[in-house]
Amino acid sequence: MKGTITRRGKQSWRLKYDLPRDETGQRRLAYATVRGTRQDAERELRAKLTSLDGGMHVDPSRETLGEYLTYWLENVAPLRASPVTLRGYDIKIRNQILPHLGDIKLQKLDLTDITAWQNKLISSGGLSQRTVHHAHITLNTALTFAVKAKKVPRNVARDAGPPKIEDYEISIWAKEEVAGALKKIEGISIYPLALFAFGTGARRGEICALTWGDIDLDGATVEIRRSLEQTKGGLRVKPPKTRNGIRTVALPAAVVSVLRKHKLKAMEDRLACGLGALPADAPVFGDLEGNWPNPYSVSDRWRNAVKNHKLPKITFHALRHCHAAVLIDSGLDIMAVSRQLGHAKPGFTLNRYGHLYGNKSAKAADAIDAVFS
């Protein structure tokens, strides 16, 4: 690649340089104006030629960030994201990115724009750092493709980095609270789901996707093989969140007992309504017609139960964390806890629950002393 510099004014210079030839082999030229000294112009020309030699050149464009994100959301993201993730992208782009950055030219977006945007969302938008962090990740994901598509030479969102998320502790019940709290809601429809969530540590979507064919009451095990999520188009069955999410989980006796009663009632209700026997593919926690339970509805029912029965306030998902806390308190090692929860890697489990293991330094010292004694 080569180029020339021509003076245009006292402190203005025109750069002319070759672009890669088009599909027919025709020569292409590009022009740019630089203000400053000749040395400034030479520096800029070298940078452009180096970019061309490294395959990093992008053709000039007046496309705005808003126009690009709309294209990406409609044509690119659906090929790479689940419907729920896509919905999250849409909300973050419409509510947190476009109102502040949408009119900026895509190729003009720089680090100062990203930093100012983050600060504005946190200070005047009333949003938490966690929310802004997730909005930044969405923008970073979209701009990563823009670099691959040769729309921009670099991803300024990645260079700027997201705001730090402050660590916070999830509210859970103490081990001594669990039995008494769940006893208060025994007899209402959410009780079997809540007991199952605490007893197995399964995710809400995994619980909603269970069929009776997945459960072996005599063997006291459950096969977790799928998950259920709510999308714009309705409920969707999908594989678990991670590859290790496909797992066999042993059922505690208390859970087996409640499931037997729950199944018996479902069979009696179906027969009373003339619906016949309970098929193996019937959802465990669905309705009589065999429809899947809505995961959002499960959370709503749980919130109502917590409020109406004056239970210590935790989310339905926190029952999974209660399960993990009890396992750790019992002395179960991190690998076993990770497998039970279906995490992708034990490192994730340790990062999430490591604080529950406490300081074992005294036990470590005792172990070494035992060698000498």
Nearest-5° Cα angle at 53, 51 to 54: 65
| Tens-digit pLDDT profile for residues 259-268 | 999 999 999 9
Q: How far apart are CA 267 and CA 278, in angstroms?
A: 6
CB 49 within 8 A of CB 1: yes
User: In this structure, how many other beta carbons lie within 10 angstroms of the beta carbon of residue 96?
Assistant: 21
| Tens-digit pLDDT profile for residues 3-13 | 899 999 888 99
Q: Kindly report the pTM of this predicted structure.
A: 0.68
Topology (CATH level 3) of domain 175-321: hpI Integrase; Chain A (1.10.443)
Burial class of residue 298, CB neighbours in 10 A (0-12, 13-18, 19+): buried
Residue 372: pLDDT above 80? no
Mean predicted lDDT score pLDDT of the chain: 89
Task: Kindly state the tokens that stand for 302.
Answer: 């749980």
Task: Kindly state the tokens that stand for 304.
Answer: 């109502």
3.40.50.170, 3.30.70.2190, 3.40.50.2300, 1.10.150.130: CATH of 65-160: 1.10.150.130
User: In this structure, how many other beta carbons lie within 10 angstroms of the beta carbon of residue 232?
Assistant: 10
Q: Please give the distance of CA 80 from its chain centroid, rounded to a whole number.
A: 13
Nearest-5° Cα angle at 102, 99 to 104: 130
Higher-confidence position of 18 and 102: 102
Domain ranges of the chain: 3-53, 65-160, 175-321
Query: Tokens 């465990």 belong to which residue?
Result: 284
Give the pLDDT mean for 230-234: 81
Name every residue whose Cβ is closer than 8 Å to that of residue 229 and which is 6 or more positions away in sequence. 82, 83, 84, 205, 235, 236, 238, 295
| Tens-digit pLDDT profile for residues 27-55 | 888 888 899 999 999 998 888 888 777 66
